[in-house]
Amino acid sequence: MTSFLSVEQLTQRYPDGDGGELTVFENASFGVEKGEFVVILGHSGCGKSTIMNILAGLSEATEGVVIMDGAELSGPSLDRGVVFQNYSLLPWLSTLKNVTFAVAARYPDWSREQVIAHSKKHLEMVGLNSDVFNRKPSQLSGGMRQRVSIARAFSISPKLLLLDEPFGALDALTRGTIQDELLKVWAGTEQTVFMITHDIDEAILLADRILLMTNGPYARVAESVDITIPRPRSRTEIVDHPNYYAIRNHLVQFLGIRSKEMAGKTDNADNRPQTVHIDELSRSATNRSKIAI
Ligand SMILES: Nc1ncnc2c1ncn2[C@@H]1O[C@H](COP(=O)(O)OP(=O)(O)OP(=O)(O)O)[C@@H](O)[C@H]1O
Ligand SMILES: [Mg+2]
Protein backbone atom coordinates (compact mmCIF):
# COMPACT_ATOMS: atom_id res chain seq x y z
CA MET A 1 0.00 0.00 0.00
CA THR A 2 1.28 3.46 -0.81
CA SER A 3 0.85 6.25 1.70
CA PHE A 4 -0.54 9.69 0.90
CA LEU A 5 2.91 11.04 1.72
CA SER A 6 5.76 8.65 1.12
CA VAL A 7 9.28 9.49 2.15
CA GLU A 8 11.63 7.02 0.47
CA GLN A 9 15.29 6.46 1.31
CA LEU A 10 15.93 10.09 2.13
CA THR A 11 19.57 10.98 2.77
CA GLN A 12 20.99 14.36 3.68
CA ARG A 13 24.68 15.15 3.68
CA TYR A 14 26.31 18.52 4.22
CA PRO A 15 29.92 19.64 4.00
CA ASP A 16 31.19 19.51 7.59
CA GLY A 17 33.27 22.67 7.27
CA ASP A 18 36.54 20.70 7.57
CA GLY A 19 36.65 19.40 4.04
CA GLY A 20 34.70 16.29 5.06
CA GLU A 21 31.06 15.35 5.01
CA LEU A 22 28.33 15.24 7.64
CA THR A 23 25.61 12.67 7.07
CA VAL A 24 22.63 14.01 9.00
CA PHE A 25 20.40 11.04 8.17
CA GLU A 26 20.61 8.20 5.71
CA ASN A 27 17.87 6.25 3.93
CA ALA A 28 15.07 7.59 6.13
CA SER A 29 11.76 6.12 5.00
CA PHE A 30 8.27 6.61 6.39
CA GLY A 31 4.72 7.28 5.30
CA VAL A 32 1.93 9.61 6.41
CA GLU A 33 -1.71 8.83 5.64
CA LYS A 34 -4.27 11.35 4.44
CA GLY A 35 -5.86 13.24 7.32
CA GLU A 36 -3.28 11.99 9.79
CA PHE A 37 -1.64 14.23 12.41
CA VAL A 38 1.97 13.06 12.71
CA VAL A 39 4.47 14.56 15.13
CA ILE A 40 8.22 14.00 14.96
CA LEU A 41 10.32 14.02 18.13
CA GLY A 42 14.07 13.87 18.39
CA HIS A 43 17.05 15.61 19.94
CA SER A 44 18.38 18.89 18.67
CA GLY A 45 20.41 18.47 15.49
CA CYS A 46 19.04 15.07 14.42
CA GLY A 47 17.60 16.55 11.25
CA LYS A 48 13.92 17.30 11.90
CA SER A 49 13.93 20.76 10.33
CA THR A 50 15.96 19.40 7.44
CA ILE A 51 13.21 16.83 6.75
CA MET A 52 10.57 19.56 7.09
CA ASN A 53 12.40 21.86 4.67
CA ILE A 54 12.62 19.03 2.14
CA LEU A 55 8.88 18.36 2.54
CA ALA A 56 8.20 22.09 2.12
CA GLY A 57 10.30 22.08 -1.06
CA LEU A 58 12.65 24.68 0.39
CA SER A 59 15.67 22.41 0.13
CA GLU A 60 16.57 19.29 -1.78
CA ALA A 61 17.70 16.01 -0.25
CA THR A 62 21.08 14.59 -1.24
CA GLU A 63 19.35 11.33 -2.16
CA GLY A 64 15.87 9.90 -2.03
CA VAL A 65 12.39 10.99 -3.05
CA VAL A 66 9.21 12.28 -1.47
CA ILE A 67 5.96 11.34 -3.14
CA MET A 68 2.76 13.14 -2.22
CA ASP A 69 -0.60 12.17 -3.62
CA GLY A 70 1.07 10.17 -6.37
CA ALA A 71 3.53 12.81 -7.57
CA GLU A 72 7.14 13.45 -6.69
CA LEU A 73 7.70 16.72 -4.83
CA SER A 74 9.78 19.41 -6.42
CA GLY A 75 10.03 22.95 -5.09
CA PRO A 76 7.60 24.85 -2.87
CA SER A 77 3.90 24.90 -3.67
CA LEU A 78 0.57 26.06 -2.27
CA ASP A 79 -0.07 22.31 -1.83
CA ARG A 80 1.97 22.63 1.31
CA GLY A 81 1.44 25.22 4.04
CA VAL A 82 4.26 25.93 6.45
CA VAL A 83 4.23 27.46 9.94
CA PHE A 84 7.67 28.21 11.38
CA GLN A 85 8.66 28.96 14.93
CA ASN A 86 9.30 32.62 14.12
CA TYR A 87 5.87 33.33 12.61
CA SER A 88 7.04 34.32 9.12
CA LEU A 89 4.37 36.98 8.65
CA LEU A 90 4.90 39.81 6.20
CA PRO A 91 5.64 42.76 8.52
CA TRP A 92 4.35 45.47 6.16
CA LEU A 93 0.91 43.88 5.75
CA SER A 94 -1.98 43.98 8.23
CA THR A 95 -3.19 40.85 10.00
CA LEU A 96 -6.05 40.45 7.54
CA LYS A 97 -3.87 41.11 4.50
CA ASN A 98 -1.34 38.53 5.64
CA VAL A 99 -4.14 36.01 5.19
CA THR A 100 -5.97 37.47 2.15
CA PHE A 101 -2.73 37.58 0.19
CA ALA A 102 -2.32 33.82 0.59
CA VAL A 103 -6.00 33.08 -0.04
CA ALA A 104 -6.03 35.21 -3.21
CA ALA A 105 -2.95 33.36 -4.50
CA ARG A 106 -4.53 30.00 -3.73
CA TYR A 107 -7.97 30.80 -5.19
CA PRO A 108 -7.31 33.23 -8.06
CA ASP A 109 -10.88 32.96 -9.35
CA TRP A 110 -12.50 34.17 -6.15
CA SER A 111 -13.97 37.66 -5.81
CA ARG A 112 -12.42 40.15 -3.37
CA GLU A 113 -15.44 39.71 -1.07
CA GLN A 114 -15.06 35.92 -1.07
CA VAL A 115 -11.35 36.19 -0.28
CA ILE A 116 -11.99 38.58 2.62
CA ALA A 117 -14.87 36.56 4.07
CA HIS A 118 -12.85 33.33 3.91
CA SER A 119 -9.82 35.00 5.53
CA LYS A 120 -11.88 36.54 8.33
CA LYS A 121 -13.54 33.21 9.03
CA HIS A 122 -10.16 31.55 9.53
CA LEU A 123 -8.85 34.35 11.74
CA GLU A 124 -11.97 34.05 13.88
CA MET A 125 -11.50 30.29 14.09
CA VAL A 126 -8.21 30.84 15.93
CA GLY A 127 -9.73 33.38 18.29
CA LEU A 128 -8.82 36.64 16.55
CA ASN A 129 -11.51 39.25 15.96
CA SER A 130 -11.97 42.45 14.00
CA ASP A 131 -10.12 44.50 16.66
CA VAL A 132 -6.81 43.18 15.32
CA PHE A 133 -7.56 42.72 11.60
CA ASN A 134 -5.96 46.05 10.67
CA ARG A 135 -2.95 45.78 12.97
CA LYS A 136 0.51 45.04 11.64
CA PRO A 137 2.36 41.97 13.02
CA SER A 138 4.61 44.25 15.12
CA GLN A 139 1.49 45.44 16.95
CA LEU A 140 0.48 41.90 17.93
CA SER A 141 1.66 39.68 20.78
CA GLY A 142 3.69 36.55 19.96
CA GLY A 143 0.66 34.35 20.57
CA MET A 144 -1.49 36.47 18.26
CA ARG A 145 1.14 36.36 15.52
CA GLN A 146 1.28 32.61 15.74
CA ARG A 147 -2.51 32.46 15.51
CA VAL A 148 -2.32 34.51 12.29
CA SER A 149 0.25 32.05 10.88
CA ILE A 150 -1.99 29.12 11.74
CA ALA A 151 -5.09 30.82 10.30
CA ARG A 152 -3.18 31.56 7.11
CA ALA A 153 -1.92 27.99 6.82
CA PHE A 154 -5.41 26.49 7.28
CA SER A 155 -7.08 29.09 5.03
CA ILE A 156 -5.40 27.70 1.92
CA SER A 157 -6.37 24.08 2.78
CA PRO A 158 -2.97 22.72 1.81
CA LYS A 159 -2.69 19.03 1.07
CA LEU A 160 -0.02 18.94 3.74
CA LEU A 161 0.39 21.30 6.67
CA LEU A 162 3.95 21.53 7.99
CA LEU A 163 4.52 22.91 11.49
CA ASP A 164 8.11 23.39 12.70
CA GLU A 165 7.96 24.00 16.46
CA PRO A 166 5.13 26.46 15.96
CA PHE A 167 4.65 27.12 19.67
CA GLY A 168 8.29 27.05 20.73
CA ALA A 169 8.51 30.78 21.42
CA LEU A 170 5.30 31.02 23.44
CA ASP A 171 4.77 30.99 27.19
CA ALA A 172 3.11 27.87 28.64
CA LEU A 173 -0.35 29.40 29.07
CA THR A 174 -0.59 30.84 25.58
CA ARG A 175 0.84 27.64 24.22
CA GLY A 176 -1.90 25.61 25.89
CA THR A 177 -4.65 27.87 24.53
CA ILE A 178 -3.29 27.72 20.99
CA GLN A 179 -2.86 23.94 21.19
CA ASP A 180 -6.57 23.73 22.02
CA GLU A 181 -7.42 26.03 19.12
CA LEU A 182 -5.26 24.04 16.72
CA LEU A 183 -7.04 20.84 17.80
CA LYS A 184 -10.45 22.44 17.28
CA VAL A 185 -9.58 23.81 13.85
CA TRP A 186 -7.97 20.54 12.79
CA ALA A 187 -10.94 18.45 13.98
CA GLY A 188 -13.19 20.23 11.48
CA THR A 189 -10.93 19.42 8.52
CA GLU A 190 -9.38 16.46 6.79
CA GLN A 191 -6.05 18.22 7.05
CA THR A 192 -2.89 16.13 6.98
CA VAL A 193 -0.38 17.59 9.44
CA PHE A 194 3.33 16.96 9.94
CA MET A 195 4.65 18.73 13.02
CA ILE A 196 7.93 19.09 14.91
CA THR A 197 7.96 19.76 18.62
CA HIS A 198 10.25 19.28 21.59
CA ASP A 199 7.33 19.04 23.98
CA ILE A 200 6.35 15.44 24.76
CA ASP A 201 2.98 16.35 26.28
CA GLU A 202 2.12 18.54 23.32
CA ALA A 203 3.01 15.66 21.00
CA ILE A 204 0.72 13.20 22.84
CA LEU A 205 -2.13 15.70 22.97
CA LEU A 206 -2.03 16.46 19.25
CA ALA A 207 -0.75 13.41 17.40
CA ASP A 208 -2.28 10.30 15.90
CA ARG A 209 1.24 8.97 15.66
CA ILE A 210 4.65 10.09 16.91
CA LEU A 211 7.79 9.37 14.90
CA LEU A 212 10.91 9.05 17.04
CA MET A 213 14.30 9.94 15.62
CA THR A 214 17.63 8.69 16.93
CA ASN A 215 20.48 11.13 17.45
CA GLY A 216 22.59 12.21 14.53
CA PRO A 217 24.80 11.93 12.64
CA TYR A 218 23.32 9.00 10.72
CA ALA A 219 20.01 9.63 12.47
CA ARG A 220 16.99 7.58 11.50
CA VAL A 221 13.29 7.44 12.19
CA ALA A 222 13.41 4.42 14.48
CA GLU A 223 9.88 4.12 15.86
CA SER A 224 6.33 5.07 15.08
CA VAL A 225 4.28 5.25 18.27
CA ASP A 226 0.49 5.07 17.94
CA ILE A 227 -1.27 7.47 20.28
CA THR A 228 -3.96 5.13 21.55
CA ILE A 229 -6.06 7.80 23.21
CA PRO A 230 -9.44 8.61 21.65
CA ARG A 231 -10.41 12.07 20.40
CA PRO A 232 -11.65 14.60 21.19
CA ARG A 233 -8.82 15.08 23.67
CA SER A 234 -8.42 17.84 26.21
CA ARG A 235 -5.27 18.82 28.07
CA THR A 236 -6.92 18.37 31.45
CA GLU A 237 -8.56 15.00 30.82
CA ILE A 238 -5.97 13.27 28.68
CA VAL A 239 -3.71 12.62 31.70
CA ASP A 240 -6.41 10.39 33.23
CA HIS A 241 -6.40 8.00 30.29
CA PRO A 242 -4.77 4.67 31.23
CA ASN A 243 -2.50 4.82 28.17
CA TYR A 244 -1.21 8.31 28.84
CA TYR A 245 1.67 7.59 31.20
CA ALA A 246 2.58 4.34 29.49
CA ILE A 247 3.02 6.23 26.21
CA ARG A 248 4.74 9.14 27.94
CA ASN A 249 7.20 6.82 29.69
CA HIS A 250 7.98 5.10 26.42
CA LEU A 251 8.78 8.44 24.77
CA VAL A 252 10.86 9.66 27.72
CA GLN A 253 12.84 6.39 27.72
CA PHE A 254 13.46 6.66 24.01
CA LEU A 255 14.66 10.26 24.15
CA GLY A 256 16.65 9.71 27.34
CA ILE A 257 18.33 6.41 26.53
CA ARG A 258 17.56 4.64 23.30
CA SER A 259 17.94 7.62 20.97
CA LYS A 260 21.65 7.58 21.95
CA GLU A 261 22.10 3.81 22.09
CA MET A 262 20.52 3.36 18.67
CA ALA A 263 22.36 6.29 17.10
CA GLY A 264 23.99 5.37 13.83
CA LYS A 265 22.79 1.75 14.02
CA THR A 266 20.44 0.08 11.62
CA ASP A 267 18.67 -3.03 12.85
CA ASN A 268 15.92 -2.83 10.32
CA ALA A 269 17.06 -3.70 6.82
CA ASP A 270 14.70 -1.37 4.96
CA ASN A 271 15.10 1.36 7.58
CA ARG A 272 11.40 1.86 8.20
CA PRO A 273 10.24 2.73 11.71
CA GLN A 274 8.96 0.00 13.99
CA THR A 275 5.36 0.44 15.01
CA VAL A 276 4.81 0.66 18.76
CA HIS A 277 1.25 0.15 19.89
CA ILE A 278 0.74 0.60 23.60
CA ASP A 279 -2.67 -0.30 24.93
CA GLU A 280 -2.93 -0.69 28.67
CA LEU A 281 -6.67 -1.27 28.37
CA SER A 282 -6.15 -4.59 26.65
CA ARG A 283 -2.98 -5.05 28.68
CA SER A 284 -0.89 -5.61 25.62
CA ALA A 285 2.11 -3.65 24.58
CA THR A 286 3.11 -5.08 21.26
CA ASN A 287 5.82 -4.20 18.83
CA ARG A 288 4.72 -5.01 15.35
CA SER A 289 7.70 -5.38 13.15
CA LYS A 290 6.89 -3.02 10.33
CA ILE A 291 4.74 -0.10 9.51
CA ALA A 292 2.48 -0.54 6.49
CA ILE A 293 3.42 1.85 3.77
N1 LIG B 1 22.77 24.26 5.37
C2 LIG B 1 23.46 23.48 6.20
N3 LIG B 1 24.79 23.27 6.03
C4 LIG B 1 25.48 22.45 6.84
N5 LIG B 1 24.94 21.77 7.87
C6 LIG B 1 23.64 21.95 8.10
C7 LIG B 1 22.82 22.81 7.30
N8 LIG B 1 21.55 22.76 7.77
C9 LIG B 1 21.57 21.93 8.83
N10 LIG B 1 22.81 21.43 9.03
C11 LIG B 1 23.20 20.45 10.05
O12 LIG B 1 22.32 19.36 9.95
C13 LIG B 1 21.99 18.85 11.24
C14 LIG B 1 20.48 18.82 11.41
O15 LIG B 1 19.95 20.13 11.48
P16 LIG B 1 18.40 20.40 11.69
O17 LIG B 1 18.21 21.87 11.71
O18 LIG B 1 17.62 19.62 10.71
O19 LIG B 1 18.18 19.78 13.14
P20 LIG B 1 16.86 19.73 14.05
O21 LIG B 1 16.59 18.30 14.33
O22 LIG B 1 15.78 20.52 13.43
O23 LIG B 1 17.38 20.43 15.38
P24 LIG B 1 16.61 21.41 16.39
O25 LIG B 1 15.77 20.52 17.25
O26 LIG B 1 17.73 22.03 17.18
O27 LIG B 1 15.82 22.41 15.61
C28 LIG B 1 22.74 19.73 12.23
O29 LIG B 1 23.92 19.07 12.60
C30 LIG B 1 23.05 20.98 11.45
O31 LIG B 1 24.23 21.57 11.91
MG1 LIG C 1 14.79 22.33 13.95
pLDDT bin (cut points 50, 70, 90) of residue 1 is low
Distance CA 158, CA 145 (A): 20
Distance CA 212, CA 278 (A): 15
Q: How far is the CA of 286 from the centre of ligand 2 (A)?
A: 31
Share of the chain above pLDDT 90, in %: 70
Is residue 290's pLDDT more than 80?
A: no
The three-class DSSP label of residue 88 is coil
The count of structural domains within the chain is 1
pLDDT bin (cut points 50, 70, 90) of residue 109 is very high
Residue 119 in contact with ligand 1 by CB distance below 6 A: no
Residue 269's pLDDT is 58
Q: How far is the CA of 147 from the centre of ligand 1 (A)?
A: 26
In a domain, 100, yes or no: yes
* Mean pLDDT of the residues in the chain: 90
Q: How far is the CA of 21 from the centre of ligand 1 (A)?
A: 13
**153 within 8 A of 159, measured Cβ to Cβ:** no
> What is the extent of the structural domain holding 143?
90-157
Using a 10 angstrom Cβ sphere, with 0-12 exposed, 13-18 middle and 19 or more buried, the burial of residue 27 is middle
pLDDT bin (cut points 50, 70, 90) of residue 291 is very low
Share of the chain above pLDDT 70, in %: 93
For residue 148, give Cα distances in angstroms to 113, 159, 183, 198.
Answer: 19, 19, 15, 22
Pocket test for ligand 1, best of 48, 194, 195, 259 (most atoms within 8 A of CB): 48
Closest CA to ligand 1's atom 3: 14
In a domain, 108, yes or no: yes
Element (H, E) at 275: strand 274-279
The three-class DSSP label of residue 137 is helix
Distance CA 144, CA 165 (A): 16
Phi, psi (degrees; rounded to nearest 5) at 173: -70, -50
Encoded amino acid at 188, one letter? G
Buried residues in 127-140 as b, exposed as e (16+ CB within 10 A): bbeeebbeeebeeb
As beta bridge partners, residue 63 has 11
pLDDT bin (cut points 50, 70, 90) of residue 289 is very low
Torsion of CA 78, 82, 88, 90, to 10 degrees: 20
In a domain, 99, yes or no: yes
Lowest mean pLDDT among 97-106, 219-228, 260-269: 260-269
Q: Where are the beta strands (DSSP E) in 97-150?
A: none
In a domain, 103, yes or no: yes
Pocket test for ligand 1, best of 11, 12, 14 (most atoms within 8 A of CB): 14
Give the model confidence (pLDDT) of 244-280 as tens digits: 999 999 999 999 999 998 887 665 556 789 999 999 8
Using a 10 angstrom Cβ sphere, with 0-12 exposed, 13-18 middle and 19 or more buried, the burial of residue 126 is buried
In a domain, 282, yes or no: no
As beta bridge partners, residue 103 has none
Pairing of strands 192-196, 160-164: parallel
In a domain, 132, yes or no: yes
236 vs 39, more confident = 39
Distance CA 245, CA 22 (A): 36
**258 within 8 A of 225, measured Cβ to Cβ:** no
In a domain, 127, yes or no: yes
pLDDT bin (cut points 50, 70, 90) of residue 293 is very low
Residue 270's pLDDT is 67
In a domain, 97, yes or no: yes
